[in-house]
Amino acid sequence: MKSFRATFGLLAVFFLIIGAGYAAEFEVLSVETQKISMDLDPALQVSGVKLNTSVIGFGEHQMMFNGSSPEDGRLFLSIYSIYDEALKSLDPSEVIGIFLGRELSAMEDSGDSITGNWTAVSAAGQNVTVFTLSTPNPRVTFSSYDMAMWPLDEDSYVMMASVMQKDATERVINTLTFV
């Protein structure tokens, strides 16, 4: 009986100490939904939305906008949400260099060529370099398109491919923002 009371007493003290003072903190990924806003030609309608979370280090939300006729153009947006600490520690220009550089290289490997560039200003007031590419691909209804990438906030970036008139493309860059 004496050993039972001693064991019970030790267990009671142990659980009081552990239960009263143990707290744990862990870092977890929490996905946040945000809305974007932009001034878009009313002739363009959303024709596809896809969320890609299979890539390590970032999530990618792709959106395609198509017009009812080729003259209305097309717009492809890919919103990247970076959560990898190494990527987050890079300067935004380095992140853009990695992602946009990869896409431009892939386009050139497929036969497209960069024919020029121009600058627009993002909704945050940052200069955005827009690359104009030409394509010899006979399966598409356009011969050139624009590509650009810029930061939306400290962890999010947008990559754009546009087959719209320059003023419509520039308007998207000027106005696209989180709301």
- For the segment 109-121, what is each residue's pLDDT rounded down to a tens digit? 999 999 999 999 9
For residue 111, tell me if it sits in a domain. Answer: yes
Q: Does the pTM exceed 0.85?
A: no
For residue 80, tell me if it sits in a domain. Answer: yes
For residue 126, tell me if it sits in a domain. Answer: yes
* Domain count across the chain: 1
Angle made by CA atoms 128, 131, 133, in degrees to the nearest 5: 160
For residue 139, tell me if it sits in a domain. Answer: yes
For residue 73, tell me if it sits in a domain. Answer: yes
In sequence order, what DSSP letters do the residues of the chain get, joined into one string?
Answer: -HHHHHHHHHHHHHHHHHHHH--------------EE----TTEEEEEEEEE--STTEEEEEEEEEESSGGG-EEEEEEEEE--HHHHTS-HHHHHHHHHHHHHHHHHHTT-EEEEEEEEE-TTS-EEEEEEEE---TTSS-SEEEEEEEESSSSEEEEEEE-S-HHHHHHHHHH-EE-
Of 26, 36, 27, give the one whose Cα is nearest residue 84: 27
For residue 151, tell me if it sits in a domain. Answer: yes
How many CB atoms lie under 10 A from the CB of residue 135?
17
* pLDDT in 10s for each residue of the chain, 179 residues: 566 566 666 666 666 666 655 566 766 656 678 899 999 988 898 988 988 877 788 889 999 999 888 788 999 999 999 988 899 999 999 999 999 999 999 999 999 999 999 999 999 999 999 999 999 988 888 899 999 999 999 999 999 999 999 999 999 999 999 99
Report residue 173: phi and psi, to 5°: -60, -45
For residue 166, tell me if it sits in a domain. Answer: yes
Q: Which residue type does 99 have?
A: F
How far apart CA 115 and CA 112 sit, in angstroms, is: 9
For residue 6, tell me if it sits in a domain. Answer: no
Residue 165 belongs to what domain range? 36-178
Query: Tokens standing for 147?
Result: 């590509």
The residues with which 45 forms a beta bridge, in sequence order, are 66
